[in-house]
């Protein structure tokens, strides 16, 4: 067994080394997988794999959903459809303890669902919501922790790029994954807001008690006008998929078309903004595509090396069970999530996790939601939570890093609570997808 594992272990060691020295993860995956395939088979086979795989993914209908959802998010962002989210959310939730923090959760969740990018959400909301909360004397840790954690919700609330990539690799229905993420996403929002309300009720000074200014008194129609575009886009996407009227790719195209139509109706559309959205979408998709090719090559290398079969046999002969496997995966994701971006980590670990999950008889839709929730936690876990550094950069060090991480710990605890509920009650994840069957 050691002889069989040695080439694989050496390749994975090289992969982690390349990632540690900041070689882009897509290039690291491609280089290491190419070397591994060449060692296990031949140089010609490795060259053939590299030549075929880009065409294979470029012609995969499911994968073509990714650029459509990226375009939808960038159009919504570039044309200002997200601009009024925080103001309207603040007015809507003004009577709650910690109203501005609760509004940040709601606005970030909607923004993240449209943009599909945790980093973009954290960066945008840190410039809008955090200064507002600090000016009202909110606890800096609570203010920064709220935005850092809420930005991760875009991975779980559909449409989600991570769900598409997981669906492609696991051969699971992307539409079913989108539906599976609805209740866990809403549950995460509710748990975050519940924690904020309880903390600000017990310690009102956390929510700036005694320093509140008069809130904007927006009429109901104005709040709906500001907030409506993103729920409408999400409803178009999810409604067309759940009704069986469109595939995920077609739904993404409808969402992008809907974003253009709404921006025209609100007077925010321009050709220059559309061109910028197209440019940003192309750049983002190119980066994702390179990572996906690397992940596909790694999957092929793992299969050729027999590692998937070996892991399945080892797991089948062990007594850790399904819950033990979930705990092992959670530990790996939380540790690696501190250093590796979410897309890279998902594609790096999928070839190893899926064979064991199949051997354990786990539902792959349920597992996908668990993995995405774990990836969210990794984005805010000390000492290298990516979202925390994004906020620190956006605020130019106005809030000390230890204070930000202290505030984030409360949200990590809530994520763990949500994860426990999703593991204990799989119906929370699987009920909506079951309606499609």
The tens digit of pLDDT for each residue in 178-199 reads 999 999 999 999 999 999 999 9
- The domain limits of the chain are 62-269+306-434
What phi, psi does 142 have (nearest 5°)?
A: -65, -45
Q: Which of 59-68, 265-274, 421-430 has the lowest mean pLDDT?
A: 59-68
Q: Which of 184-193, 313-322, 334-343, 417-426 has the lowest mean pLDDT?
A: 313-322
Mean pLDDT calculated for residue range 93-112: 85
Mean pLDDT calculated for residue range 196-221: 72
Mean pLDDT calculated for residue range 252-260: 89
pLDDT of residue 117: 66
- Measured CA to CA, the distance from residue 138 to residue 50 in angstroms comes to 53
Q: Is 296 or 179 the better-scoring residue by pLDDT?
A: 179
pLDDT bracket for residue 272 (50, 70, 90): very high
Mean pLDDT calculated for residue range 291-295: 84
pLDDT of 213 higher than 50: no
Per the prediction, the chain carries an average pLDDT of 82
pLDDT of residue 3: 62
pLDDT digits (tens, 9 = 90+) for 358-388: 888 889 999 999 999 998 888 888 766 777 7
pLDDT of residue 115: 66
Contacts of residue 198, Cβ cutoff 8 Å, sequence gap at least 6: none
């Amino acid at each position: 067994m050691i002889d069989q594992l040695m080439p694989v272990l050496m390749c994975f060691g090289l992969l982690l080394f390349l990632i540690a020295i900041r070689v882009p993860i897509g290039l690291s995956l491609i280089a290491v997988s190419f070397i591994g395939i060449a060692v296990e088979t031949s140089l010609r086979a490795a060259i053939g794999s590299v030549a075929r795989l880009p065409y294979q993914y470029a012609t995969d209908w499911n994968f073509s959903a990714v650029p459509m959802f990226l375009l939808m998010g960038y159009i919504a962002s570039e044309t200002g459809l997200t601009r009024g989210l925080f103001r309207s959310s603040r007015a809507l939730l003004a009577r709650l303890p910690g109203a501005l923090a609760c509004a940040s959760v709601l606005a970030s969740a909607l923004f993240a669902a449209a943009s599909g990018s945790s980093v973009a959400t954290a960066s945008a909301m840190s410039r809008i919501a955090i200064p507002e909360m600090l000016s009202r004397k909110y606890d800096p840790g609570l203010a920064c922790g709220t935005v850092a954690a809420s930005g991760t919700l875009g991975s779980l609330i559909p449409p989600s790029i991570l769900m598409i990539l997981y669906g492609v690799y696991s051969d699971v229905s992307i539409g079913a994954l989108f539906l599976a993420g609805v209740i866990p996403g809403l549950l995460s929002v509710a748990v975050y807001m519940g924690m904020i309300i309880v903390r600000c009720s017990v310690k009102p000074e956390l929510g700036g008690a005694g320093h509140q200014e008069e809130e904007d008194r927006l009429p109901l129609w104005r709040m709906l006008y500001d907030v409506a575009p993103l729920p409408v886009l999400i409803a178009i996407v999810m409604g067309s998929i759940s009704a069986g009227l469109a595939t995920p790719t077609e739904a993404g195209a409808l969402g992008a078309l809907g974003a253009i139509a709404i921006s025209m109706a609100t007077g925010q559309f321009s050709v220059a903004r559309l061109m910028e959205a197209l440019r940003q979408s192309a750049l983002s998709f190119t980066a994702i595509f390179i990572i996906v090719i690397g992940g596909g090559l790694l999957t092929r290398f793992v299969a050729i090396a027999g590692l998937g079969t070996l892991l399945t046999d080892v797991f089948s002969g062990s007594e850790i069970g399904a819950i033990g496997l979930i705990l092992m995966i959670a530990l790996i994701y939380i540790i690696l999530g501190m250093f590796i971006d979410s897309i890279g980590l998902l594609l790096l670990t999928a070839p190893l996790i899926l064979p064991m999950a199949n051997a354990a008889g786990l539902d792959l839709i349920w597992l996908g939601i668990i993995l995405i929730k774990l990836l969210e936690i990794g984005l805010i876990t000390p000492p290298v939570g990516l979202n925390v550094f994004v906020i620190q950069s956006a605020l130019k060090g106005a809030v000390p890093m230890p204070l930000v991480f202290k505030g984030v710990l409360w949200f990590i605890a809530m994520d763990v609570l949500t994860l426990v509920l999703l593991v204990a009650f799989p119906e929370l994840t699987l009920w909506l997808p079951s309606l499609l069957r």
